[in-house]
Chain A
């Protein structure tokens, strides 16, 4: 086996340029290709590591026990499986489509028309990188679904990305290297923003949990974990002096932000947004380097998100609204955390300036926001009173009180504006979100009015967009403003239906 760590760069290009493949690859060549031969090695690496670790432990503990033989057999089966799946899989790039073919017992052919491809996503994990390989994900929107080439050489991945996303720019391409322009790059000190986002605070727990789970299962399989040993550990923990426990807890509390910075850096290391002929390419990651290409003409807007902590720090997360992009929350990410001016500048370079300032919504909307924030804990509290649970009722009362400022802030964050080319709507407090959408991307308007909204003269206007979530609401506008807003942006659609 090839353990990760041995650089294989020298061998890679030769292997990938197998004889049946023309060296200069035009956009329309028709060669049938296989995945990279080293693929099965990578495919097996994960199992290998786990199995070898288990085998070594088994050897150390119980000699050449049955567990060890099982490990060997499992290893063999895994290798055979990976070799077989490598041998039976081919792909071919045709003029108008890409075909993925698997022939084992049955035969399956997946065809993706090239004009349906919306994004090509190249990722390299650590073992992939040491072997000079990369995984290519092809995203074809809702009609074609997804396909993965796991794995090809990195040169082939770059070529596929270029060719598959480049149908518009086929003609000028070929002579010069494609123009590259760095639009934004993560600065060192931005990694410190990680604890603000909250999500990364929990990652260490998830990692530790899965690690402990794996260790436990492994130990359990090998008979290392017995009832007595677990009990001993338990007694030792209980037996610790209270001061030590408190110290440990405090340590953990201080360690959390540090851990979150580490986790954040792992995922977002050297986050770079580049422009390469007609596509926006976002690259990130330390151990697994991931690069996502977004076709520029499908990029119809951006989303600026933050939470109250990030707002205090002046930090934003920037995402792209791309038509027909699956898993948009992860793939559409343009900046994981950056100061507001930087994020807004990148937004301006990608879709155009963020319109502003936002127009606030009418006062009648304020009461509605507060009521809707207070209602859930209030209702639970009333139920608890009826059921005779004073403690739960008290907790709910506190929550309901805290919900009042939350509702007020939710009202303050509401806003909408258009600058003639792009519109922007904003809502939310704990997870505030401002969306900027090109007028051309709008596919419809939906006005919603509940009985209560009708009494207050309010309406929620949903901007239907064929990208991102599909619709973005401007919550509780005044009724006339909602109609006027839609009529201002698309007069031809709305005017025929206005009251004379």
Chain B
């Protein structure tokens, strides 16, 4: 079963980390990624560029248009994702629980990835 771990954090908090704290967070991420590569559970994962560099496309005054940045002023921003193929939802949550961002004001959302296969109804 494939799960996507959606990682949210507060860019201001990340910017405010000391060098030591930053290295610790990166170290934790590297360790988890190495473990997932080793177990063969890793499907894909990427960090995303700062939200200020994003473009958002939405309906504006009757037409779809692109604007700079994400719409919301939310402190918590989508920062990256991880797709894992693992045995159970429990295992996916276990990986999310070890991710560093929730401990520095962020969050990790665990969502099952829809399958293109389906059983006879």
Partners in one complex: no
Q: A residues touching B (Cβ–Cβ < 8 Å)?
A: none
